[in-house]
Amino acid sequence: MTRALVLQAGIGAVSGVAGLGLLLRPRAAGRLLGLAAGEPATYALRIAGMMLVALGLFLTGFATVFALATGGAA
């Protein structure tokens, strides 16, 4: 894997983990971010969390598939 692919996969992993934190524990994340507790904030944090998880899946998946398709060297 080239340095760019490792960087892409790393950013994907970090965004995926952060997204899982927002998705699974929206109230704790809301307290950390200083948001008012309530249903709208919970929904917004879950939506943001799912978007970050999807970003992580896409970035990491594309980097992995590209590395496998090219034999690891590009």
Residues 43-70: tens digit of each pLDDT: 888 999 999 999 999 999 998 899 888 8
Residue 34 is assigned to a structural domain of this protein: yes
Q: Decide if 61 is inside a domain.
A: yes
Q: Counting every residue, how long is the chain?
A: 74
pTM: 0.81
50 and 29 in contact (C-beta within 8 Å)?
no
How many Cβ atoms are within 10 Å of 39's Cβ, its own excluded? Answer: 7
Residue 19 lies in a domain: yes
Q: Which residues contact 50 (CB under 8 A, 6 or more apart)?
A: 19, 23
Name the average pLDDT for the chain. 87
What pLDDT was estimated at residue 50?
94
Residue 27 structural domain? 3-69
Cβ atoms of 1 and 66 within 8 Å: the answer is no
